Structure 1
Amino acid sequence: MKPFISIISLISLLAAGPAMAAQATQDDSLRLAASRALLRTQPLASGSQMDTLVETNRATPDQVWVLGSATQPLPTQMTGEDRVPVSRLFLARRQAEGWQLALDDDPRFAELLEQVPAGWLSEAEKRAWRSQLAQSKRLAPENTGLGLPWRAGAAWSMTGGPHGYSGESQPYDSIDFAGGDGKVLAPQAGVIYKSCVRNGSALVKLVHDNGYSTTYYHMINLTSAPDGQRLDKGAYLGTIGNGLPCGGSTTGPHVHFSLIHQGQAEPVNRKRLGGWQFFAGNRAYQGYAQRDGNRVNVGGRLVHYHDGAEPAPPSPQPGGFSGVATPKAGNSHVNLRTSPSLGAPIGGKAKRGESVALVCHVRAEPVDGVWGRTDIWNQTSAGLWVSDGFVDTGSNQAVAPLCPASQRPW
């Protein structure tokens, strides 16, 4: 049956319109419209080149409709950070007064999608794009329905914890992975698009059917699948590498994996991928992954458990909120206070690395903690208080809800 399915898929793709590799557009007015649209939603990133790269991925024979991409190239440089260009797909229609254009994170993209000529985009493409609409039903906030981008059962290293497309840029929507056989695979079925195809590398995007999209950078030996083709879960995308087709920097062969939800960069903090729940640190590239109470820090290996059964989050504590005791250098424990103040009596202690169950938080006395100054104090399940500066919760914001008035000490 496999050859038959492949032939049917090819016929469907051809019927949807000619597929092509992304090519720099020769239309100056389209280039200007796409550049302006990208700059309106994404200010020029530090070090980006002023000339936006505008490419055509698909066009109708009469050149009235275009599916393309707009990318902010970066200078190629060697740094200690992983920098990735900003890129967005767009739909555009030529009209008498100029191009009507919408990026894929613009609600108007959906309007244009419903107006494209019949058969120009495949039904698989339309289904995937429609799932990106803001009014679509969302999965539980922490559940992405996605695996990890390598073979199930294999273990890869998390070489860089949650970070932005350019290091400290927000949100922390990306994670770096490397190891195993180096083959990057689709974490779920999705429609593929490539931008900035150069020297055997590209910016690769998969648009899934559940409101999520994923992007990949630095890969080499890319799949030959044409833009707009739907790939099954586990399909080959490329191999980890140091590819910089649109510039940026890399710290060694790996894949820069990014998460998007309904057109917007999505923080990976607390998201579940491949059986693991990921937590961001207080700085870029920090953080950890957790499964069934087992914690893996940056540099550790993660087995891909995506067998359809996501484990329940480890939550023996009330509310399911917790932090890891992180005292300052030279100290072996964190003091738990009877009220949210360093001057309050000590009611208990938590050893370095010990999990602390958190119930709620208040804003109280500022404390110079491990990651800087904070006024967040967390109440523990034992009714004691600990400054957020001395517990690693995976976020620099409060993770537990605000304490009700009845539980506040004033």
Structure 2
Amino acid sequence: MSRVRGWACAVALVAASLLTNPTAAQAAPTAAGDLTTAVTTRLLDRASATDAGLRGAGADNTRVTITRRDGQTWAFGTAVVVAPAQEGQYPAGWLFVAHRDRAGWQVAFDGEANFADLATAAPARVVSQAEKNVFTTSPSPMYAGGDYRTGMRLPFAVGQSWYLTGGPHGWAGSDTPWSSIDLSGGDQRVLAARGGTAYTMCRGWIRVIHDRGYSTDYYHLWNSISVNGAGVGEGAYLGDTGTDVTCGGAASGRHVHFALRQNSAYVPIAGHNFGKWVVMGGGATYQGYALHGSAQVNVGGALYNYGALGLTQAIIDANGGGTVNKRSGPGTGYAVVGSVGDGATVNVACSANGTTHTGRWGTTSLWNKLTDGTWVTDAYTWTGSSGPINGWC
């Protein structure tokens, strides 16, 4: 991409506001008593502040799962508010750490200011060291800063083609941000888009927390794995596509509802790359398309999974042309020393400024030096960033 302009600038402003998350308040002590009650009380407050569709939900609409506990002082688990079983409704869920002191239970959800502090202080039998490393890392808001790199594949086997049955839409369908897409077909096996730490939010719903502040949600799964903070590699089996709505909502036809989060909040999925396809939004929910170089697949079409795009790799986008010239230096004043085809994956060694060009992603003077020593203009590459992805030359 190299440049993310126009529609993406507006989307970035939305993402920035989401990452600020006004609900991420300090965890307040809850009166001494039952832990589940304490978590449920906080959960209903958090859900009602996050999703208007869940306001008014009662304790009978919640699922609090305490997966680890250390006596009467520490606990860890998942907390979910079940949505109504109807179209356009989806559950809301978080991880939590709880600590009991003289004032009662303090409960913090991921994304709240006190979560990392409680996770750090918790004994290892409640929050593992690997989880502490994930929870206490403070990634910069890279999405809001114009960095759309995910390092993710599509959530199915490399080499397969699945149908894009739903373009960018909200986690609950019509809500914002448009964080999700729907995919179906192939061998129906849903796989982790990138390695990370996995949690079962409820039956049919898996969340994987990755690096760089990202996490991915997978909903409507059949035969979903039961996992509680285990590390999973890229391509790990999570379940099969299905129509499971254990935690609410509705589903018609087998598929996976695949959503993107960053810094504990759903973020717009448009502009990000999965399996070397850039997801693009449409004029309304469930519309849109995906780009691999100049190749465009609309909703209803099949996406071939090329595998993850590395964080120092780029996709050549000839903007409708067949090839892009490679030169001996960063500009058109240097000799042409070859060409590279539209849709090709290239490895970037470093970048420098040179002559200015305009491509699909905007106008730029940035040039990328490839690992074979040749140069291509950034106007005809998708890197996921408006700047260098592997330093300056």
TM-score w.r.t. the length of structure 1 is 0.65
Counterpart code for 1:50: G
Q: Distance in 1 between matches of 2:76 and 2:280?
A: 35
Residue 285 of structure 2: aligned partner: 284
Residue 45 of structure 1: aligned partner: 53
Residue 58 of structure 1: aligned partner: 67
Structure 1 residue 305 displacement after superposition:
0.8
Given the alignment, which residue of 191, 204, 209 partners 2:206? Answer: 204
Which protein, 1 or 2, shows the higher relative CO under an 8 Å CA cutoff with sep ≥ 6? Answer: 2
Counterpart code for 2:51: P
Q: Partner of 2:85: helix, strand, or coil?
A: coil
Q: Distance in 2 between matches of 1:47 and 1:111?
A: 28
Residue 215 of structure 1: aligned partner: 217
Q: Distance in 2 between matches of 1:307 and 1:135?
A: 22
Q: Distance in 2 between matches of 1:237 and 1:107?
A: 30
Given the alignment, which residue of 124, 127, 131 partners 1:121? Answer: 127
1:38, 1:70 within 8 Å by CA — same for their partners in 2?
no
Structure 1 residue 29 displacement after superposition:
2.7
Change (3 A) 1:313 1:140: farther
Structure 1 residue 49 displacement after superposition:
3.7
Q: Distance in 1 between matches of 2:52 and 2:72?
A: 29
Deviation per residue, 1:258-277 (Å, 9 max, x gap): 10111111111110111110
2:167, 2:289 within 8 Å by CA — same for their partners in 1?
yes
Counterpart code for 1:36: D
Q: Equivalent residues in 2 for 1:150-169 (5 A)?
A: 150-169=156-175
Counterpart code for 1:215: D
Given the alignment, which residue of 91, 108, 115 partners 2:114? Answer: 108
Change (3 A) 1:211 1:35: same
Q: Equivalent residues in 2 for 1:3-402 (5 A)?
A: 27-40=36-49, 42-45=50-53, 49-51=57-59, 52-77=61-86, 79=87, 83-131=89-137, 133-135=138-140, 141-196=147-202, 201-224=203-226, 226-309=227-310, 311-312=314-315, 314=317
2:221, 2:240 within 8 Å by CA — same for their partners in 1?
yes
Change (3 A) 1:264 1:46: closer
Range that drifts further, 117-126 or 287-296: 117-126
Residue 406 of structure 1: aligned partner: none
1:206, 1:214 within 8 Å by CA — same for their partners in 2?
yes
Change (3 A) 1:290 1:91: same
Q: Partner of 1:253: helix, strand, or coil?
A: coil
Structure 2 spans left out of the alignment, 5+ residues: 1-33, 321-358, 364-378, 380-385, 387-393
Structure 1 residue 358 displacement after superposition:
8.1
Counterpart code for 1:314: D
1:49, 1:75 within 8 Å by CA — same for their partners in 2?
no
Deviation per residue, 1:310-343 (Å, 9 max, x gap): 54362659xxxxxxxxxxxxxxxxxxxxxxxxxx
Runs in 1 of length 4+ with deviation above 4 angstroms? 134-140, 307-310, 356-360
Deviation per residue, 1:131-162 (Å, 9 max, x gap): 4x354877962211111110011111111000
Q: Distance in 1 between matches of 2:262 and 2:305?
A: 22
TM-score w.r.t. the length of structure 2 is 0.67
Root mean square deviation of aligned Cα: 2.9
Q: Distance in 2 between matches of 1:186 and 1:274?
A: 12
Structure 1 residue 175 displacement after superposition:
0.6
Range that drifts further, 144-153 or 122-131: 122-131
Change (3 A) 1:151 1:63: farther
Q: Distance in 1 between matches of 2:109 and 2:305?
A: 33
Q: Distance in 1 between matches of 2:120 and 2:52?
A: 31
1:84, 1:217 within 8 Å by CA — same for their partners in 2?
no
Q: Distance in 1 between matches of 2:260 and 2:180?
A: 6
Q: Distance in 2 between matches of 1:152 and 1:307?
A: 9
1:33, 1:99 within 8 Å by CA — same for their partners in 2?
no
Q: Distance in 2 between matches of 1:153 and 1:311?
A: 19
Q: Partner of 2:38: helix, strand, or coil?
A: helix
Counterpart code for 2:301: G
Number of positions where the alignment pairs a residue of Structure 1 with one of Structure 2: 291
Q: Distance in 2 between matches of 1:134 and 1:96?
A: 33
Larger Rg, first or second structure (1 or 2)? 1
Q: Distance in 2 between matches of 1:48 and 1:160?
A: 29
Counterpart code for 2:93: S
1:57, 1:227 within 8 Å by CA — same for their partners in 2?
no
Structure 1 residue 27 displacement after superposition:
3.1
Structure 1 residue 126 displacement after superposition:
2.2
Q: What is the identity percentage for the equivalent residue pairs of Structure 1 and Structure 2? A: 33
Structure 1 residue 254 displacement after superposition:
0.3
